[in-house]
Structures are given as C-alpha cells and as structure tokens.
Amino acid sequence: MTQFNLIATATFGLESLVADEVRKLGYDEISVENGKVNFVGDELAICRTNLWLRTAARVRIKVGEFTAVTFDELFEKTKALPWADFLPKNAEFPVEGRSVQSTLFSVSDCQAIVKKAVVESMKKKHKIEWFPEDGPLYKIEVALLKDTATLTIDTTGPGLHQRGYRALAAGAPLKETLAAAMLILARWYPDIALIDPFCGSGTIPIEAALMGHNIAPGLRRDFASSNWPLIDEKYWKQAREEAHDAVNPEKPDYLIGTDIDDRALRIARHNAEQAQVADSIHFQRIPVQEISSSKKYGKIITNPPYGERLGERDEVGELYKDMAKVFRTLDTWSYYILTSYPQFEKIFGGRATKRRKLYNGNIETQYYQYYGPRPPKRQA
C-alpha cells in the first residue's frame, strides 16, 4: 500500500480534537498546525478518516511544499511534483488558491500558474498534449502562507460537515462538525442525559445520537475520492464494512431536543429520520423557561440565539437571564453554552468553570462550560 502525507483540515480551535480523532483511528505520525493536522496514512487511511472524522473539515493529500517568492519559482517547483502519480489522464483538476502574508498575493494568478504547471507535468508523463478533464474530480489547492506554498488534492468533496442527513435547515444552522466538537468538549457520553433547549434543526441531539450509536458520520455519503483509480474499490468496501460492523444498536440513555418553533421541530424530526436516529431522540415544543427533568444528573449543551442583529441584544439578554434561572433549578447538572454575546457571564450571573474560543462560521464565539457536581460512582 502507498503511504501518503495527509492533512485533515480543521476550523481554528478544533485542531486538538481532530488530532485526537486521527490518533484514535490508529495514525500516530501526527503534527498539528493552525487549521490543520498532518499525518501519514495509506489508501485505507483516506477512506477511514473521511468516514469517521466528526470534527474535521476535509482530508487532503499533500503533493508538495516549498518556498516560492516569484511566479517562475511557483511554476517550476509545481511542475517538478509527481502529479501523474495521482491524476489519471482524464482527471478533472480545477485549482483553488489562497494567500496569506505572502509575496505572491494574487490568488487568481497563482491558480493559473499552478494549473499550467500541472498540465506541463502531466504532458511529460502521459505523452499527450491535451487533457479532456471529463473524469473523476481532483480539486487542487495552492495555499501560500508566508511565502511557503503547499500543494494538495482534496479527497473529500463537499465538506465533512455534510453528513447527508440535513437536507432541511432552520434559521442559521450550526455546522455538524461544530456540534460534534461541542459534545466532545463537554465530555458527553451515551449514558449521560442530554437536553438541548434551543435545538433548531436538531443538529446537537442528532450528532449525539450518531456518537451514541457509534455511527460513522460519513457512512451515508460519497466522497470525491470514492471513484478514484488511485484508491482501489476494495479499500472503500473494507472501510464501510468496518463502519457498519461498529454500529451499536443500543439507544443513548436520554436525548431531548426542545424549541418553541414548530417549523424548526418538524425539520429536526425529518433530519433525525434521515440520519436513522429518530427513535433515539425526543423532540418537544417547550420554551426554555419551562425546561425540567426527572434525571438527577445530566448536561445541557446548546447554541442559543446570539443577538447579532441590531435591536436583538436586549431581548437576548433577557432570554439569558431566564436561562440562568431555569438551569440553576437543575443544580446537579452541567451546562455548556455557545454564544458570541459579549457580556454573557455577567448576564448569566456567574463565571464559567472554563471557556474556549470557537468559530461558528465567521462568528467568533465563546463556549462557556459550567461544571456541576460529579455523579456518584456506579456500583459494579
């Protein structure tokens, strides 16, 4: 099997979670940088990581990395890379680019130069002058950071947050990868009661159900590399069979999603059915002011309104005061709240045990974590 230098890209703040996930899949040659986790793996690693990574954005093959401060340098060093080892003659290979603090700041020019260099490299190897680009997709990225160019090929296609279950969304939905990260950071496990009182389209409880059943998040979708000649079909078959065999049919203990929006709840139920976890989640129309539970211990994990729009800040502030009153009636529970509201702790009436900066799309947020008492250890 071929060994590849691979990159699992990550939203800023989630790199350590992605690294832990990669490690748990059995790949330990890891280095972590801003926005990415580098590791080494074979064809099966490409299949497994695409199927299993819950918090990563996508998986890329690193073809090469070098310093480039002139367009000639970018062209010649790109051309020297072994593109024909990855791309078949009929590959469709568009080039995307980005440049941060680099001498070569014109992204469009860099894209055009890389495209031309790849074509010249392919001509030399395949001994042909024209490429039809009517085959499988190999999306190339040239990323320039402080004059270092990294050339990669995307193996994923649509981002890993697109699990395949959320055809419908309510309002501004939370990305599935961020919802999974919130659950992991909260140390939620299937035997712990969970309530999301602002469930919207159901992303947090659905991700919890997928984790509770040990369902690989990519099990019900395809990937850009699914039909690459580079990766034998047997590896995808093996990885999918492993994922199917790993599913745990036992239901998580107690998963509740509530909201006051009937339309959002209809969407949440539909999404849960698409994810095939509808039987594991109870969705209910309840305002946050009426949240209660008979469970002695549990976790509230939620992404409430932020008050980003003009005129909503005061209204959201009152909502957070109501949240504080209700949550404190569940005095043995822990609560985890994601928001960009600048005075959240003051309004909520207490400093968080811990907080962590996360990005919800382009919005900088804080993940406020309030730890309740530990439940007593269960008797063997």
| Least confident residue range of 182-191, 272-281, 300-309 | 300-309
pLDDT given for residue 380 in this prediction: 44
* 34 vs 52: CA distance, rounded Å: 21
Tokens of 61: 């093959």
pLDDT for the residue numbered 331: 92
State residue 161's pLDDT score: 96
Confidence grade of residue 310 (pLDDT, cut at 50, 70, 90): low
What value does the CA radius of gyration of the chain take, rounded to a whole number of Å?
A: 23
Task: Give the pLDDT band (50/70/90) at residue 167.
Answer: confident
Query: Which whole number is the average pLDDT over 352-364?
Result: 95
Q: Express each pLDDT in 132-156 by its tens digit.
A: 999 999 999 999 999 999 999 999 9
Percent of the chain residues past pLDDT 70, beyond the cut = 97
- In terms of Cα–Cα distance, which of 373, 375, 366 is closest to 337? 366
pLDDT value at residue 173: 78
Tokens of 133: 């680009």
374: pLDDT strictly greater than 90: no
List, for residues 53-107, the tens digit of each pLDDT value: 999 999 999 999 999 999 999 999 999 999 999 999 999 999 999 999 999 999 9
What domains appear along the chain, each with residue ranges and CATH number?
A: 4-154 (3.30.2130.30), 176-215+253-370 (3.40.50.150)
The whole-number pLDDT of residue 206 equals 98
Question: What pLDDT, on a 0 to 100 scale, did the predictor assign at position 125?
Answer: 85
